[in-house]
């Protein structure tokens, strides 16, 4: 199926693409057909800078279980860093 | 009847006038040699104006049709790689229906303007393009249309989906030409029930149509470069397409 399921959000940071590092301003998260991964559907993430053109993009296509583990890992690391983040905010 | 297939063809990127007169890129493939040919507008799937779609376009030319595929993402991402263009279009909410119709109209006009056109033009679309093929056939005077597993002709898209697609089955009365629909029994978008609902609308309005649902096939069973590929369904599907376009588009 073509799910069309797409979530978009603003982000701040940097990513390394085909032509080196660039600032990212937008992200798309979607569950749909991959371009490259050998699966019918994957959890896809695009980190983008539309102001720099369509090629300013870092893309990943992940197996759904792997995507969930990645999300949990991100949250675990952020939770562990909560003290540091709080100190930095003071 | 002579075999319309030809080994000699020419394929190249061109610029055409799309919706609102905008210049957009397209991929044109045409058989070489004498004679007049029917035209096919190929509507690419959501992953965009990619290698697989260009290969399909050349395949129609090899079977004796003038074929053109407009790059529906040209405005958002001129000159970009097809996957980057698709990502940009998705983030922007997809292709508005009105613009799609204008781009298909421009592509059909470009085919009819060719000296070797027989004046007949049809459409074929895959995935999101299947819905758009039906939409074009309900909005423009065409001679034939093929819908390959287009979702959301019938049915409401999932909640929270930002893309601009909605059900269009209410347009069935305006369908201007015969319709061929090719679907997989394992597909959920469109589901066999939704295909049944489409058939009900076609029958109700007295339209000429044939819908085929292939057992053991899901969505995108024509895509030879994806795990969804189902050779039996794809091979029979291509036979249905050649018979259908042969009846409605081919000839002088």
* Residues of chain B found within 8 Å of residue A50, distances taken between Cβ atoms: 88, 91
Residue A20 phi, psi (nearest 5): 100, -165
B115 pLDDT above the threshold of 90: yes
pLDDT value at residue B162: 58
pLDDT value at residue B160: 58
- Give the residue extent of every domain in chain A: 6-63
CA-nearest residue to B52 within chain A is A35
**How far apart, in whole angstroms, are the C-alpha atoms of residue B212 and residue B237?**
8
Residue B108, token pair as written in the block:
């059909």
Task: Give tens-digit pLDDT for B200-231.
Answer: 999 999 999 999 999 999 999 999 988 899 99
**Confidence at B5, pLDDT banded by 50, 70, 90:** low
- Give B227 or B3, the one with higher predicted confidence: B227
B159 pLDDT above the threshold of 70: no
**How far apart, in whole angstroms, are the C-alpha atoms of residue B90 and residue A26?**
12
Tracing tokens 């296509």 back to the chain, one arrives at A61
* Facing A48 at nearest CB: one of B91, B152, B162: B91
Task: Give tens-digit pLDDT for A30-60.
Answer: 998 899 998 888 999 999 999 999 999 999 9
Min Cα separation B190/chain A (Å):
8
User: Is CATH 3.40.50.300 what the domain over B9-248 is classified as, yes or no?
Assistant: no
Q: What is the mean pLDDT of chain B?
A: 93
B163 pLDDT above the threshold of 70: no
Say yes or no: B220 contacts chain A, CB-CB below 8 A. Answer: yes
- Give the residue extent of every domain in chain B: 9-248
**Confidence at B1, pLDDT banded by 50, 70, 90:** very low
CA-nearest residue to A33 within chain B is B47
Q: Give long-range contacts, CB 8 A cutoff, 24+ apart: A41-44.
A: A41/A1, A41/A3, A42/A67, A43/A67
pLDDT value at residue B27: 98
Cis bond upstream, residue B190 (ω within 30)? yes
Q: What is the mean pLDDT of residues B87-109?
A: 95
The residues of B carrying an active-site annotation are 127, 187, 219
Task: Give tens-digit pLDDT for B17-43.
Answer: 999 999 999 999 999 988 999 999 999
């Amino acid at each position: 199926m073509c799910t069309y399921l797409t979530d978009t959000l603003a982000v701040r940071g940097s990513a390394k693409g085909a032509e080196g590092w660039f600032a990212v301003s937008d992200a798309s998260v979607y569950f749909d057909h991959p371009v490259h991964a050998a699966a019918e559907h994957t959890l896809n993430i695009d980190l983008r800078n539309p102001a720099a053109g369509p090629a300013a993009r870092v893309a990943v296509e992940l197996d759904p279980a792997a995507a969930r583990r990645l999300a949990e890992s991100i949250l675990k690391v952020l939770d562990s860093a909560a003290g540091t983040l709080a100190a930095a905010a003071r | 009847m002579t075999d319309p297939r030809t080994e000699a063809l020419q394929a190249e990127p061109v610029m055409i006038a799309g919706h609102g007169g905008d210049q957009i890129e397209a991929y044109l493939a045409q058989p070489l040699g004498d004679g007049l040919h029917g035209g096919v507008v190929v509507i690419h799937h959501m992953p965009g104006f990619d290698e697989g779609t260009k290969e399909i376009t050349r395949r129609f030319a090899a079977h004796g049709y003038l074929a053109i595929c407009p790059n529906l993402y040209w405005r958002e991402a001129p000159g970009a790689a097809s996957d980057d263009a698709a990502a940009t279009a998705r983030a922007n909410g997809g292709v508005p229906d009105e613009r799609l119709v204008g781009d298909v109209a421009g592509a059909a006009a470009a085919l009819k303007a060719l000296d070797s056109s027989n004046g007949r033009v049809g459409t074929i679309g895959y995935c999101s393009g299947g819905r758009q093929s039906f939409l074009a056939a309900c909005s423009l005077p065409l001679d034939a249309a093929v819908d390959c597993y287009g979702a959301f002709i019938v049915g409401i898209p999932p909640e929270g989906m930002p893309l601009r697609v909605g059900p269009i089955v209410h347009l069935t009365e305006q369908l201007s030409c015969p319709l061929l629909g090719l679907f997989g029994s394992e597909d959920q978008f469109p589901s066999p029930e939704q295909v049944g609902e489409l058939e009900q609308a076609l029958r109700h309005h007295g339209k000429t149509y044939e819908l085929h649902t292939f057992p053991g096939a899901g969505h995108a069973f024509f895509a030879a470069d994806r795990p969804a590929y189902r050779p039996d369904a794809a091979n029979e599907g291509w036979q249905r397409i050649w018979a259908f376009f042969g009846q409605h588009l081919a000839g002088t």
